[in-house]
Structure 1
């Protein structure tokens, strides 16, 4: 069943729309009714309908303004406008606001039923299209080369955690399963590219031809993936076993065949740089950097050859790495976790030191990176690092003055816990400040009939969704219900003044529409404003006189 909201200031018309049509048979349920656009928005905040049927001419907020807001803030809601002949020009404007359709008054049940069936069919079709797995699969297959290249590019330009790499390898069917890896970069030797002309289209055609040859050969050997990144042809090579010498020999044999094939069939030459051999795809970005460095040596060694970085620059391997996954695990435990989560994260980092054969220099660098990431987190929350660390000298000097790794671990854990406590304290303080400012603003402006979440969020300089989440969590009720409560309580106070009319009280507390005010007053107190005044105010005066 799709949900329907009826917005019409004439009660008889609302009654007719609701009761003269068998909504269930069409596939709809009337979730609520509203007498104007303002009331409709209040209802929509708590429960979003699929379709809104609205009149144009209404008090407080008309149907055009409502349609405009719905298009901006709730674009998935379908809107139908009801209009008289005199309002036709307004109906034309409403179509520009994204209104699905309009009907002329008086509305005939058959016409409205027919239109709603059409709207339902459109929503059904829209949902079916989005859920059509077959179409999605076709679209995915068409987009697969782009998705593959995007992920492969991210592999060589940034550090990606191992879980994501494994997931993408499977979903994108990448030939990257192995124990050893290396990146290579190839560039076209400009002096030989003239054979293909200077036109941009010719250049792209040449790149495509080189890529095609490379893909054919790398696929034959089942040694990885190749793609273009900027102007370099990039290779991510994989090997069954991790061994520097044999891995390079395999890479050299493959790349040399590609170089010779390009020269033979395309009459152009290319130079290829091979990066450092590594034992994890997480380290392939470092290998790519060294491959580009190797390619730069073309200026010295000449082009049309394969250049290995290991031949010209000594290769250093690091067994202990503070990678993106470890950093994210530690930082998230500090920002969002408990003391136990922080302790576990620090424990995991120090277990790494004990399980790998790392040099003293590696360990020092590893610890410095951990401390630097925590310091960076502190700075992002504008925390007083001196107060957190609580020492009079350099933290790095203190860390390396300890006698055991256990002492260093305890100190780093202490710092992490201090940061966590300060963040939680600041977060609580900020939330309390927002609530204090919000309630003060509401107390001062509840008489503004146009007081909305958007308006108060703009005042507080936060997003409406964030404000709604905080307010409901801290106040235990929605902003709308809280505002209604404030307004009703203010109305009760004003009713103590016998000289004030009910409609005047309604306007003072933010309800220009008396019917709208009476509806919420009775909903909150169980009696109409007049009944309340007679029972609690006038009776009190009579007792005083007696």
Structure 2
């Protein structure tokens, strides 16, 4: 609930405001009353800052204007409202300079007070939404968050958690246009994703019980998540108090990041899984590098490529996690560069490996992609790629994507359709768009969605979502908000106002 402090040196006037709020506005709670500005500041020191400060102007010791000024200095986010008589209207205007959000005239008229509370509630809703999103970002990135702040913005007694990832782990390298994804302000369940391929769910305890949470979240994942080659889900069956959300989020992400296995659908229950490294045996087994180093030194590239692919096949068959395999493959890459036998562009190879591990749907695609990165430059005549490494050719690729964006597109399906390898297509996107395929596709879909929303023939949000390749309108709305900063309905209102 939103916390309100009422300050007035007349007890009856203060009681009137307190009683109106208690009777009519269940989302607001009176955290305290004071009879002058100094007492109000002391109360804030003791109990913490309120969301809303409602204060009279004329009071002994410290008047309302000075109180608002001091509150703004100490607690910049507090919404201040002054209660003013007609004869004090000039004071009311002066208070705007001190950061007053609104004012209401005496004697208080219930209908006017209701309008005031409605305005304040919408501002607080937006504020709490943005603060929760900021806290989600911090918790996921293991930036410390104090328990008091968590309890303020996550107000349910307890929360359940789950996380779902489509295909491989997200890119670890920054890129233009890549955005985090947050739930819509109207969604009861809080959601977050490091990118469009992932959703972390936080479910308030009052919406569900321990007995049916797992089934509920499984249905939710099945309903709104796009199709993918494989999906990894981690579910925590038991709820945690609001103050422990941060630790639960970290546990979910650690489990997810260490458990993704290429091509394997998994639903893991957090409480049932051990902390041991899944799929891996103890020790650092790097003996395979000795044979590869010998082949690199002798420039036996065909044998080197074959042995590398056999290793990757073996590791995937053993169900080694993505992070484990990725570490070994990067070791091979460093070895090849030491012998001047791999991709000469170190930065490009890092980006391309990131892409292929994130988007590969099976071991064959992974092997093909890694071979393209490591061995194509040393075996291929550069002239053979000149026709496809042009802006004209890349424009034809983008045209194909534009025509098929309503379908379930992937890097693999598009590369197959246009007749190049996944790695080569990734290279083209990095070169001409300075972005990954997934980031470009999301941007293209959102720009198309913006145009559809503004058409004269009005379309429902769910229909717009389907037109640009999303089967669930809530999932689409999250992506749209992350891209534009507003919800679809707000975007339409904003654009229509600008036209007027």
**Structure showing greater relative contact order (alpha-carbon pairs closer than 8 Å, 6 or more residues apart):** 2
Higher radius of gyration, 1 or 2: 1
Shorter-chain TM band = 0.3 to 0.5
TM-score (norm 2): 0.33
